[in-house]
Amino acid sequence: MKPASKTKPKKILVIDVGGTHIKVLATGQTEHRKFNSGPRMTAAQMVKGVKQITRDWKYDAVSIGYPGPVIHGKPLHDPRNLGKGWVGFDFQKAFGCPVKIVNDAEMQALGSYHGGRMLFLGLGTGLGSAMIVKGVVQPMELAHLPYKKGKTYEDYLGLRGLQRLGKKRWRKHVSDVVDRLTAALEPDYVVLGGGNVKELKKLPPKCEAGSNENAFLGGFRLWNP
């Protein structure tokens, strides 16, 4: 196993772990690859699948966007939409090279950032959130804070909220939550990422649309000295 390095690796493999797919992209590649994940996907199975579809790629470091809280570079608990065995798993030993793990919203936020104070909200299966101030990333867990009628922000803005409320009402709640968080956190701009941002007809004030592809850029940026 290679020791961790303080210099930027020459070739980085970025892994975006999702409840439906595992997506990967490496330095020098132009198109990402993916395979199915699902509720029984363990950490060991993820590593095996990644190695299988990247057999012809070279890399000397790995970035992982993890769908759950990450503390000091380690998953705090197993993902809600995947299998068991993620907490305590030795990813560095499994890949045989240095590995950095961050929350998936944090990784996409880092790839979306272009200066100042930025709030990132990921409108996907759940609700991801992160804030970056002058280049410093602050992961946030806004999804499970109370919002309305005993339900959380994620209950309204996540996929379940979209399906329960319908697109019209869901869009109104997106605008309302953005207004509340903008007033509280005072960002210069808000990036709305995640797969469901495409369901918005019009972006709220001070907002711009992100892209899931920005997660890969964020993964590469993780290794900037």
- The Cα–Cα gap between 131 and 1 comes to 33
What are 25's two structure tokens? 């992209």
pTM for the whole structure: 0.88
- The Cα–Cα gap between 119 and 132 comes to 7
* Phi, psi at 3, each rounded to 5°: -75, 155
What are 36's two structure tokens? 């199915």
Question: Of 209, 199, 200, nearest to 121 (Cα)?
Answer: 209
| pLDDT tens, the chain, 225 aa long | 444 446 788 999 999 998 889 999 999 999 999 999 999 999 999 999 999 999 999 999 999 999 888 988 999 999 888 999 999 999 999 999 999 999 999 999 999 999 999 999 999 888 999 999 998 988 888 998 999 999 999 999 999 999 999 999 999 999 999 999 999 999 999 999 988 999 999 999 999 999 888 999 999 999 987
